[in-house]
Amino acid sequence: ENSIILGNRNTVKGTGTETVVALARKRSTLSDTIVIGESNSATDTRVVGVMGGLNEAASSYWSSVNGVQNKLTNSSASNIIGIRNVISMDVAPTTDFFTGAPSRYVQDNIIGVDNKILGTSEQNSVIGSNNTLSGSSTQNFVAGFGNNLGESISGNQILSSGGTVADGVTDGVLIGR
């Protein structure tokens, strides 16, 4: 399909095709991807923008990666801005049979350095550095540095540096340590 590649040593590839019966044609598993910078890679992505250096996007839809050494895997409607951040879901999102749009939206967002959103976590926003959300954490807002966040937390507002949130905590507010 349509891809734009600018820069050095960038890689864009689709590993196959999918049949879209409604459109009576096959389409690449890679489409509408923009890669700008140096040594970035995009594999099996749809409507994804990658800008910067040493970034990776794989099996992701409707997302963007900006900065250096960021990694986006199996995600949809997610964004990374910064350095060495990771959004990596356990299962790739499926797409709508007729439109090719993601059938579910992960909607995770990271701004900062060395943050991670892993597992089956969805609809989280992380601003700062050295924060990790994992398990099935959902709808959390984290702003701060080096927070110790438990697995499978949901609905929490965390404004802290070095704070701790235990596994399974829901609808909590943490301000300070």
- The 10s digit of each residue's pLDDT in 32-59 is 788 999 999 988 888 889 999 999 999 8
pLDDT beyond 80 at 98: no
| Ranges assigned E (strand) in 29-100 | 31-38, 41-43, 46-53, 56-58, 61-68, 71-73, 79-83, 86-89
**Overall pTM > 0.75:** yes
Task: Say what the pLDDT of residue 46 is.
Answer: 80
Q: Phi and psi at residue 23, in whole multiples of 5°?
A: -95, -5
Residue whose token pair is 């895997």: 73
Bridging pattern class, strands 61-68 and 31-38: unpaired
